[in-house]
Amino acid sequence: MGLALITGVTGQDGTYLVEDLLADGVEVHGLVRPGSIAPINDRVIQHRIDLTDSAGLQGLVSDLQPELIFHLAGQTSVAESWADPVAAINQTGVPTAALLSAIASASPGSRFVNASSAEIFGDAPAPQSEKTPVNPLSPYGAAKALGFFLVQGFRDRGMHASSAILYNHESPRRPEQFVTRKISKAAARIALGRQKTLRLGNLDAARDWGWAPDYVRALRLMAQQETAADYVIGTGESHSVREFVAAAFRVAGIEDWQSHVEIDPEFLRPADPKVQLADSSLARQRLGWAPTVDFAGIAEAMVIADLEAESRS
């Protein structure tokens, strides 16, 4: 029960979080960008307010007095942030400041959970934990770091505010600009004879890939803690892009994935963390959180969903 306000309500994590909260009888309100045409769950009460509009946000949280506020909105990807660094700050950094200040002045009893990112650690040695220095490599990481520090500052001043330092998390709802979904969709299309090649960037990059619904559960657990704190959320296993390609193509029934993959410099990034690997001991101990789907399970679920979608279309 209670009332939750979510930013980023139409994204991968937003849709899972909405379903979870509704299933528990929570009244869910979503902040939606004016002009956005993304489909939205019709049980979500929508508020069309720009996330940089401090006065608008203050009015809304003052009216709603939400128990829970989940801040998931932001520029979605690292690649995009190199194309438009100003948008990275405007869409990821500034809204966190606007929300925190609105809550502090108009709804100080709200519990705030910020979706931060492993990108704040840049290329730090693996594994990374809450103790790892923040040292981002990309505009996306820098914008997420700004939000992370703001959350710490407002927490120090008494707000129940936490950041979830989320490692990559995937599902069939992941947009195709992310490498796992690009791969799962291509594997399905190649298996069905609809596509010949898949062009990728750096196959050696290693990421700690988890299952998105598990990460959404972590956000809720963090909000329920008596004391707010930041938590690293990841599986503790890291796999290369190459391994994901092999796993996905195997699910699609293709063993010789090498003959279908080409390296395209267009997808190489100016700076790309080499190995991301989460040490989530704190979340496991204090939140009782643990991932439920492993690397092979994620590849399997994504490719099966894409095979089904492709077969229908």
Taking contact as CB under 6 A, which single stretch among the options 15-23, 32-40, 58-66, 199-207 is the one that binds ligand GDP? Answer: 199-207
Q: Rg for the chain (alpha carbons), in Å?
A: 19
Question: Strand, coil or helix: what is 261?
Answer: strand
User: Does the annotation count 140 as an active-site position?
Assistant: yes
CA angle 137, 138, 139 (to 5 degrees): 135
Does 200 help bind ligand GDP (rule: CB under 6 A)? yes
Which residues, 248 to 267, sit near ligand GDP by CB under 6 A? 267
Beta-carbon contacts of 84 under 8 Å, excluding residues fewer than 6 positions away, are 75
Please identify, using beta-carbon distances, which residue of 29 and 169 lies nearer to ligand GDP: 169
Interface pick for ligand GDP out of 79, 97, 106, 134 (rule CB under 6 A): 79
CA dihedral 147, 148, 149, 153 (to 10 degrees): 90
Cβ 132 to ligand GDP, closest distance in Å? 17
Choosing from 119, 138, 167, 215, the catalytic residue is: 119
User: Does the annotation count 119 as an active-site position?
Assistant: yes
Beta-carbon contacts of 92 under 8 Å, excluding residues fewer than 6 positions away, are 74, 75, 140, 143, 144, 146, 147
Interface pick for ligand GDP out of 54, 201, 242, 282 (rule CB under 6 A): 201
Does 168 help bind ligand GDP (rule: CB under 6 A)? yes
Please identify, using beta-carbon distances, which residue of 204 and 308 lies nearer to ligand GDP: 204
Taking contact as CB under 6 A, which single stretch among the options 38-46, 73-81, 122-130, 245-253 is the one that binds ligand GDP? Answer: 73-81
Cis link prior to 127 (omega < 30° from 0)?
A: yes
Interface pick for ligand GDP out of 241, 251, 283, 299 (rule CB under 6 A): 241
Contact yes or no for 140/116 (Cβ under 8 A): no
Specify whether the backbone of 170 is left (phi greater than 0), alpha (psi in -120 to 50) or beta.
Answer: beta
Does 85 help bind ligand GDP (rule: CB under 6 A)? no
Q: Which residues of the shown chain bind ligand GDP in the complex (CB under 6 A)?
A: 77-79, 168, 177-180, 182, 200-202, 205, 207, 241, 267, 269, 272
